[in-house]
Structure 1
Amino acid sequence: MKEIIATAEAPAALGPYAQAVKVNDTIFVSGQLPLHPKNHQMVTGAIGAQTEQVLTNIRSILEEGGAHLNDIVKVTIYMKNLGDFDEMNRVYELFFPNSDTSTNLLPARSTVEVARLPRDAAIEIDCIAIVTNDYMTPELF
């Protein structure tokens, strides 16, 4: 069964698509930009602040669908400048700490450089999550 997931705690879609779609226990989160959910303004400044906003938006969408960041199995990151990779990774690690990989909480991930993103954002992230309700550690951020 297909269910549309929508929350006011993340920015509305910029086009004719859902924030996320849930099919059975799988949630497909559409690409999220560093937009503030209340005023729909782009978070500006360093890539770290933008990455934090994107991941906060994703967390809100997942929570609306009954999932958490720990349920994510695949992440795709689109960046305008891979020169910002290290700074983006520092913030990403706050949401997905890898100090203990034995807990298997880290999702698979791809990061690609792109020529342009909507609203000239510096980063966009989408993901896939499997709702397990089996958490080995609490949310850390």
Structure 2
Amino acid sequence: MPIVETYTPAGTPTPIGPYSHISKTGQFISISGTPGVDPATGEMAGPDAYSQARQIMRNFVTMLESVGSDLAHVLHVNVFLKEVGDFAEMNRAFAEAMGDHRPARTVIAVADLPKAGALMTMNLTAVTRD
């Protein structure tokens, strides 16, 4: 039976509940819902969707690198927006971070999020580089 490893790497925000940021088995990686928290301050990276989405993508880079992966190996991303009107700014930050890689993605509007001040959260699935 495969072993599931869990991680909360250094340089990432502290989880707000009883979970790890990353679960990994073999080459398969799952990253938990991640709001746009700046790990250096513990606060939201900004009051706007673009700043928060950019920070989420930065946090994803750190998390993926800690388990031998990167954004080019992302299979699917779920985005949960509090306001559908923030779609364009989230999309702008997402496209800047992903470059030419276009993984599958789902965007859903939600009523609220657990982290105060969060305009969105994202989670993803990826595979390792090898």
Task: Please tell me whether the aligned partners of residues 8 and 37 of structure 1 are also in contact (alpha carbons under 8 angstroms).
Answer: no
Query: Cα offset for 1:110?
Result: 0.2
Equivalence map 1:20-39=2 (5 Å)? 20-39=22-41
TM (norm. structure 2) is 0.92
Letter in 1 for 2:62: S
Q: C-alpha distance in 1, partners of 2:73/2:8?
A: 18
The equivalent of 1:52 in structure 2 is 54
1:96 to 84, 95, 98: 98
User: Which runs of structure 2 are paired with 1:1-141 in the superposition (5 Å)?
Assistant: 1-98=3-100, 105-120=101-116, 121-133=118-130
**Superposed displacement of residue 97, structure 1:** 2.2
Question: How far is 1:8 from its partner?
Answer: 1.7
RMSD: 1.1
Residue 70 of structure 2 contacts residue 129 of structure 2 at CA under 8 Å; is this kept in 1? no
Per-residue Cα deviation, 1:4-37 (whole angstroms, up to 9, x for no partner): 1221211021100011111110110000011111
Contact 1:52 1:92 (8 Å CA) reproduced: yes
Structure 1 stretches of at least 4 aligned residues deviating more than 3 Å after TM superposition: none
Q: Give ranges in structure 2 of 5+ residues lacking alignment.
A: none
Q: TM-score, normalised by structure 1?
A: 0.85
**What is the percentage of aligned positions where both structures have the same residue?**
29
Once residues 58 and 25 of structure 2 are traced to their aligned partners in structure 1, the CA distance between those partners, rounded to angstroms, is 22
- Partners of 2:37 and 2:15 lie apart in 1 by 10
**Secondary structure of the structure 2 residue equivalent to 1:119:** coil
Output the CA distance in 1 between the equivalents of 2:129 and 2:46.
35
What residue ranges of structure 1 are gaps of 5+ in the alignment? Answer: 99-104, 134-141
